[in-house]
């Protein structure tokens, strides 16, 4: 039996760190904490080691395809494949950020959608049968946040391809540069990026229909992290509950779904879920 492998991107702090903690306690295999910055990553590993846990570490910058390829080659050579991938790495500009909408759009979509997509494109070929992929989305990733009905319809088309989705999101970035994004897309690049992640999840599952691989997206809840300026009421371990459920416990029938922080499967294109 080959060793099972779990990977969490952007996991030196916040929800990603808590997901690594939870996996270390329950996953029957090796768990990789990854980070862009090696020092921060190794410090995070040391913190978990003090709790008696044994995460592995590897540098991974999802914005750098060479970094992803290096990690892929390492996993393939050492273990032969990958069993759990949690795509957690993301950024968010603060509400009072002085950066113009054009900059926020370009950078947020680059990291949260296009770099996540790069990680998937490079790592998916080494996913083993039975693998689970968890894309960390957000309540902001619910389709109801997109003002344009025409766009909402386009984003949920059952034949939408990744190329077409990526082209739509590039059009958003261009609209933000021209200051014309609000009517169709709204004013939040973070919303658009996470709607993109949720839409991508559904396409990915459709593309993997002939393999035993489950891909789901999840809103982990409003969590006390740097990203929320520590305004969220949930602890990072509470924010890890639903992602861990999808990584470890969800029935095999749960695939291509959008899951709320309480582990409920919610309708992505229906009314916004009540609290």
Catalytic residue ranges: 190
Contacts of 194 (CB under 8 A, 6+ apart): 112, 137, 138, 140, 141
What count of other Cβ atoms lies within 10 Å of the Cβ of residue 232?
A: 18
DSSP states along 110-149: IIIIIIHHHHHHHHGGGEEEEEEEEEE--GGGSGGG---H
37 with 61: CB under 8 angstroms?
Answer: no
DSSP conformational letter for 92: -
φ and ψ of 214, to 5 deg? -105, 130
- Residue 58 belongs to what H/E stretch? strand 56-59
What count of other Cβ atoms lies within 10 Å of the Cβ of residue 94?
A: 10
134 with 86: CB under 8 angstroms?
Answer: yes
d(CA 8, CA 10): 7
d(CA 71, CA 10): 14
In terms of DSSP H, where are the helices of the chain? 14-26, 38-50, 65-79, 101-109, 116-123, 149-155, 162-178, 182-185, 189-207, 236-239, 241-244
φ and ψ of 46, to 5 deg? -60, -40
């Amino acid at each position: 039996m080959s060793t099972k492998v779990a990977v969490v991107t952007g996991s030196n702090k916040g929800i990603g760190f808590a997901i690594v903690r939870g996996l270390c306690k329950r996953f029957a295999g090796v768990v990789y904490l990854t980070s862009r910055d090696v020092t921060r990553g190794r410090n995070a590993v040391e913190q978990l080691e003090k709790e008696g846990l044994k995460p592995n570490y590897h540098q991974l910058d999802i914005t750098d395809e060479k970094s992803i390829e290096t990690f892929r080659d390492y996993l393939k050579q050492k273990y032969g494949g990958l069993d759990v991938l949690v795509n957690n790495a993301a950024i968010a500009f603060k509400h009072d950020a002085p950066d113009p909408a054009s900059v926020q759009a370009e950078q947020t979509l680059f990291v949260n959608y296009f770099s996540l997509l790069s990680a998937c494109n490079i790592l998916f070929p080494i996913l083993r049968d039975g693998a689970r992929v968890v894309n960390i989305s957000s309540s902001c990733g619910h389709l109801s946040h997109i003002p344009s009905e025409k766009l909402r319809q386009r984003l949920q088309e059952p034949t939408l391809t990744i190329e077409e989705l990526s082209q739509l999101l590039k059009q958003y970035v261009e609209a933000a540069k021209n200051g014309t994004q609000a009517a169709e897309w709204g004013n939040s690049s973070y919303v658009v990026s996470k709607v993109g992640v949720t839409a991508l999840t559904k396409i990915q599952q459709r593309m993997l229909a002939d393999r035993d691989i489950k891909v789901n997206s999840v809103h982990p809840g409003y969590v006390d992290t740097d990203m929320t300026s520590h305004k969220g009421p949930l602890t990072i371990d509470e924010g890890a509950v639903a992602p861990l459920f999808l990584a470890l416990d969800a029935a095999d029938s749960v695939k291509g779904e959008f899951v709320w922080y309480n582990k409920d499967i919610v309708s992505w294109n229906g009314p916004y879920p009540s609290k």
